[in-house]
A and B are shown apart, each in its own frame.
Chain A
Amino acid sequence: MLASPNWTHLAAELSGEAPLDLSAGLSLLLYTGLVVGLVLLLMLLAAKLGHKSTTPAKREPYESGILPSGEARVRGPVPFYLVAVFFIVFDVEAVFIVSWAVVYDRLGWAGFAQMAVFIGVLFLALGYLWKAGALDWGPRAGRKAGGKLPEAGR
């Protein structure tokens, strides 16, 4: 792809070694100007000439013809969020482990040692979360954590 003639020509043009083809650039510029101008003109005309009416009913959010009842925002329990975050954190680490596992035979014992250190640090993190009470959730978490891990406690 990189070696195709178009590419090298473009590279030469950009670095100033070949003269820029001005006519091609000009037509592109004109075309862009026309497109942008037309869009602006249409928007302007619609805004100026169009008929506008607002009634209270029009400002209501549309929900299949049924009047909305109450807020759309629901308060969800935070532990779901925490668990989701932990899942993503450990899931991303799995990417590194899998990429090692694919070539474990070529990396040998040095690779094994590096991966062992990596997984060791991961276990430390898991232990930290466990001890801090981030994995306890449900009714008893509030009593037990009581502020050990601020994020999980309240």
Chain B
Amino acid sequence: MSLAELFSLLPVLVLAGASLLVLMLGLWLKHLPSLVALGVAACAAAGALAVLVPPEVMEVGGMFSAARYARFFLVLWAGVVAWTLLSSVRYAAARRFQPGEWVSLLLFAGAGMALLSAATSLVGMFLGLEAFTLVLYILIAFHRGSAAGTEAGLKYLVLGVTATAVLAFGVALVYASAGTFHLPEAMAGVAGDSPLRPLGLLGWGMLLVAIGFKVSLVPFHLWTPDVYQGAPAPVAGLLAAGSKGAMFSAVVGLLAGIGLGLRDLTPVLWALSGLSMLLGTLAALRQENVKRMLAYSSVVHMGFVLMGLLDAGPEGQEAVVFYLVFYALVSLGAFGVLTAFSGEEGEPQQLAAFRGAGYRHPFLAAALAVFMLALAGVPPTGGFMAKLGVFAAAIRAGHLPLALVGVLASLVSLVYYLKLVIAMYMSAEGAPPSGSPLHRGTRLEAACVGVCLLGVLLLGLAPGALLDWIGSLL
């Protein structure tokens, strides 16, 4: 690896280096806020380097791209990590998380997600994916006093390792069919005239299983509700916003090179997307637990994103990336409100705990209501534009029935999103909340939620700027 290549990889190296530094520093310095400040500074530095310092070479080691697309996602993931660090200061301190390990692991997750989004080779994809999945195994079970957290961590570990094994097998089969790991050439094995096409298709099937697991598409979604419920709220936010987004940003790159091979995969993608939307919606309707509801809602949303991918043209990719940015903002915001509402112990999860919250916590509850409406896709928010984009992409690709399923799922989704809004605003004022009262949230947490709120509204009111920007990346 030459110096020029290292220089192009600099923003990721800053994140990973800062992670090591914080880990070692955390042995002596037990003060969480200062370590968080260091972590946020590292994220800001990585983001600034990615924007301001142009890379010398466009590809590092034949594995990771340093092009604008990769840099865009690096900035996004660095922002997501910095946001998570800031919004969880009180949460982490109240639960006595080891300060050094907490900050260091989050930074490393950011580096892994940036690598995954930048992958231009199947090996690079594997490395990036594993780098942050390993971190998530630990983070999900990070609260050692919580039995649900340990259970969630174990479930994610067992299923995740299986998915990793399938992914490795799939990568090997695709390599056998094409003779290279590099994208998009590795996709040549799926093309019609390749003698080893069955191997390539089998490999692709395995890739789809692993991808479906990581982004929780039906039928690989079974871990999602338990893990969301058990994981600490900030980690669940990172899982929803970051890990799924990073995986999909890599899938955009995978599908970009597949060309005519997409025709063979279309029925599978169609089924995965349709099933995710239908089953996710039906399961979400029955949830009384807000975190489980958000988990099933994420299954539905990943179905929407996959629908956008069926149009392999630049417009489809644009819609998908827009959706990922929107979904990152809105899920960070929703879990941020849950974090802010969390007291010394436990988190408010049952719908009943939110009763009357609209009157006692006007700002946080209003923000949560807006996030719910945005997830449902109500017009003034970014959710409407995001869904419009993927529906349009599906119709362009000639999948009108699938788009109709999506519209139906969106309509029904209003029911379960509004349940929470109704609980917050339309239950009797002053009704005694069951269990511990909601925390008021600190100013920092409110500010973090405010940033997401602003972003979600801006994406809905002025989506053009981001769409143009994304268009210039692809």
Which of chain B's residues have a CB closer than 8 A to the CB of A121? Answer: 20
Q: Is the CB of A128 within 8 A of B1?
A: no
Which of chain A's residues have a CB closer than 8 A to the CB of B20? Answer: 121, 124
Known: A128-B24, A132-B27. A150 touches B197 (CB 8 A): no
Which of chain B's residues have a CB closer than 8 A to the CB of A124? Answer: 20, 23-24
> What 1/0 mask marks residues of chain A from 10 to 51 whose CB sits below 8 Å from any chain B CB?
110011000000000000000000000000000000000000
CB of A141, distance to nearest CB on chain B (Å): 17
CB of B268, distance to nearest CB on chain A (Å): 16
Which of chain B's residues have a CB closer than 8 A to the CB of A131? Answer: 27
B195's partner among A8, A110, A128, A132 (CB-CB below 8 A) is A8
Q: Does B180 contact A (CB under 8 A)?
A: no
Specify the chain B residue showing the minimal Cβ separation from A130. B27
Known: A110-B1, A150-B98. A11 touches B23 (CB 8 A): no
> What 1/0 mask marks residues of chain B from 174 to 207 whose CB sits below 8 Å from any chain A CB?
0010000000000000000001111100000000
A127's partner among B2, B24, B199 (CB-CB below 8 A) is B24
Q: Does B144 contact A (CB under 8 A)?
A: yes
Q: How far is the CA of A43 from the CA of B4 in the complex (A)?
A: 68
Q: How far is the CA of A132 from the CA of B23 in the complex (A)?
A: 11
Q: Is the CB of A14 within 8 A of B1?
A: no
Interface of A is mostly: helix
* Residues A123-154 near B (CB distance < 8 A): 124, 127-128, 131-132, 150
Q: How far is the CA of A8 from the CA of B194 in the complex (A)?
A: 11
Q: Is the CB of B98 within 8 A of A11?
A: no
Q: How far is the CA of A29 from the CA of B157 in the complex (A)?
A: 38
Which bracket fits the contact residues of A? 10 to 19
> What 1/0 mask marks residues of chain B from 92 to 120 whose CB sits below 8 Å from any chain A CB?
00000010000000000000000000000
Specify the chain A residue showing the minimal Cβ separation from B28. A131
B198's partner among A15, A114, A127, A150 (CB-CB below 8 A) is A15
Specify the chain B residue showing the minimal Cβ separation from A13. B198
Known: A110-B1, A150-B98. A128 touches B196 (CB 8 A): no
Which of chain A's residues have a CB closer than 8 A to the CB of B199? Answer: 11
Known: A110-B1, A150-B98, A150-B144. A15 touches B24 (CB 8 A): no
* Residues B141-160 near A (CB distance < 8 A): 144
CB of A130, distance to nearest CB on chain B (Å): 10
Specify the chain B residue showing the minimal Cβ separation from A147. B96
Q: How far is the CA of A75 from the CA of B40 in the complex (A)?
A: 43
B23's partner among A15, A110, A128, A150 (CB-CB below 8 A) is A128
Q: Which of B24, B27, B98 has the most CB of A within 10 A?
A: B27
A11's partner among B1, B144, B195 (CB-CB below 8 A) is B195
Q: How far is the CA of A121 from the CA of B176 in the complex (A)?
A: 34
Q: Which of B176, B195, B199 has the most CB of A within 10 A?
A: B195
CB of A88, distance to nearest CB on chain B (Å): 15
* Residues B14-50 near A (CB distance < 8 A): 20, 23-24, 27
Specify the chain B residue showing the minimal Cβ separation from A121. B20
Q: List 6 A-B contacts (CB under 8 A).
A: A8-B195, A11-B199, A15-B197, A110-B2, A131-B27, A150-B144
Q: A10-B198, A11-B198, A124-B24 given; name 20 further pairs at CB < 8 Å.
A: A2-B176, A2-B196, A8-B195, A11-B196, A11-B199, A14-B198, A15-B197, A15-B198, A110-B2, A114-B1, A124-B20, A124-B23, A127-B24, A128-B23, A128-B24, A128-B27, A131-B27, A132-B27, A150-B98, A150-B144
Per CB-CB distance, the 9 closest pairs between chain A and chain B, nearest first, are A14-B198, A131-B27, A15-B197, A11-B198, A15-B198, A11-B195, A124-B20, A150-B144, A124-B24
- Residues of chain B at the chain A interface (Cβ within 8 Å): 1-2, 20, 23-24, 27, 98, 144, 176, 195-199
- Residues of chain A at the chain B interface (Cβ within 8 Å): 2, 8, 10-11, 14-15, 110, 114, 121, 124, 127-128, 131-132, 150
